[in-house]
Amino acid sequence: MKTIIEKYGHRRVTVVEGGITRHRSIFNGLKVFAEKEFSSHLLQKPEVVIIHDAVRPFVEEDIVSKVVMAAKEHGAAGAIRPLVSTVIASAADGCLDHSLERARYRASEMPQAFLFDIIYEAYQQCTDYDLDYGTECLHLALKYCKTNAKLVEGTTDLWKVTYKRDLYAAESIIKDNLSQRVCVITKGKESLAQVGFLLPESLKNQIKVEAISVSPSKNDSHLQNIISGQCYNFVCVNDKRCAIQEIQELVDMLEKSNTPLLYPVVLISVHLDISENNSFSIGMEDITTIKKFARETKKKNILVYGLLIQYKDPLLLQETVNSAAALIMALIKDRNPELIGQLLVA
């Protein structure tokens, strides 16, 4: 935990030791504000505290602000969701006793927010039994402070990452979020102009595209803006077989921007082959060079792939470009670290 805070440079975070149950951990967190003396004014007693579960990583700012506003008015507030299954009570013999009318009930989710004085009071008053077997903070506020929490309808994003399948889902959602934008950089050479135009057009059907037709250089403020705007996908179109130098410049810019710190960046080097030689071939040295380079940049959380577009028959160019766009989308969506340094052919 402390390593994570350091790595990402968080300044307003204090880690508090957890307890053996959920309620004891939350109580430990609250005590920090009430009992200890802190030099930093950032840890003074707050008006409202938010309680959230780390296993609900996709929480939106909107619901957080809604529960905070509701807590200011009502003393307590929490996100709710419709029940997905009927809730039933079982008898002692393991048979159905009765089922609840689904429409009357809701699932209590997180985040929840409280006036600090209310939730701290509730935790101070509650019993060891509450602390050891309870899980619901809204219940404590009701029981010990007579505070009926305001219930705020939340979105499906609040789901708990609980099972292995949820990890799969979380990974796919993150990859999906990272695959919304791509920046296509074309070197301003005439031979590339056609592909530099057709490729972004073909990609636009599937992803938001920002096309730049200059060379990446340290003075390019447009590219610099895109990078700081947290774009996680870059396509460099060039006519060299092995454009390590061009890509290196982009890698340097990305590294400086801290973008790859949070999520892996995909960087696809597209080589346009305009030789009219039919017996064209890929030399093993080129392949080895790209692989070595990709292995190095992977350490910086930048995933480099190579893609070759053959420009033989002008009539087939559109088809080849579409096939290149499909490969680019597959590489962006998968972000597969095992395939780095490979040279695909469109």
The footprint of Mg ion (CB under 5 A) covers 58, 157
Distance CA 50, CA 111 (A): 7
DSSP, collapsed to helix, strand or coil, labels residue 306 as strand
The nearest distance, CB 336 to its own copies, in angstroms, is: 6
Site string for its own copies, 288-317 (x = CB under 8 A): ---x------------------x-------
Neighbours of 328 (CB within 10 A): 26
Q: Which is nearer to its own copies, 148 or 217 (CB)?
A: 148
Please tell me what DSSP assigns to residue 53: -
Question: Binding its own copies by CB under 8 A: which of 4, 34, 100, 316?
Answer: 100
Rounded to 10 deg, the angle between the 317-334 and 193-203 helix axes is: 50
Q: Which is nearer to its own copies, 74 or 187 (CB)?
A: 74
Label residues 296-309 b or e (16+ Cβ within 10 Å = b): ebeeebbbbbbbbb
Q: Which is nearer to its own copies, 46 or 283 (CB)?
A: 283
CB contact set of 43 (below 8 Å; sequence gap of 6+): 14, 32, 33, 36
DSSP, collapsed to helix, strand or coil, labels residue 187 as coil
Question: Binding its own copies by CB under 8 A: which of 90, 125, 180, 217?
Answer: 90
Question: Binding its own copies by CB under 8 A: which of 39, 40, 162, 221?
Answer: 162
**Does the protein bind its own copies through residue 173 (CB under 8 A)?**
yes
From the list Mg ion, its own copies, none, partner contacted by residue 86 (C-beta under 5 to 8 A by kind) = its own copies
**C-alpha angle 169-299-257 in degrees, rounded to nearest 5:** 85
Neighbours of 326 (CB within 10 A): 14
From the list Mg ion, its own copies, none, partner contacted by residue 8 (C-beta under 5 to 8 A by kind) = none
Question: Binding its own copies by CB under 8 A: which of 3, 40, 44, 85?
Answer: 85
**Does the protein bind its own copies through residue 124 (CB under 8 A)?**
no
Subset of residues 223 to 282 that bind its own copies, contact rule: CB under 8 A: 278-282
Q: Which residues pair with 211 in a beta bridge?
A: 184
Subset of residues 138 to 157 that bind its own copies, contact rule: CB under 8 A: 138-139, 142, 148-151, 156
Question: Binding its own copies by CB under 8 A: which of 4, 13, 87, 193?
Answer: 87
Subset of residues 22 to 81 that bind its own copies, contact rule: CB under 8 A: 74, 76, 78, 80-81
β-strand pairing of 181-186 with 233-238: parallel
Largest pairwise CA distance in the chain:
84
Distance CA 342, CA 197 (A): 25
Q: Which is nearer to its own copies, 2 or 146 (CB)?
A: 146
Subset of residues 325 to 344 that bind its own copies, contact rule: CB under 8 A: 326-327, 329-330, 334, 336, 338-339, 342-344
What's the distance, CA 267 to chain centroid?
18
CB 44 within 8 A of CB 106: no
Q: Which is nearer to its own copies, 70 or 243 (CB)?
A: 70
Q: Which is nearer to its own copies, 1 or 84 (CB)?
A: 84
Distance CA 207, CA 328 (A): 11
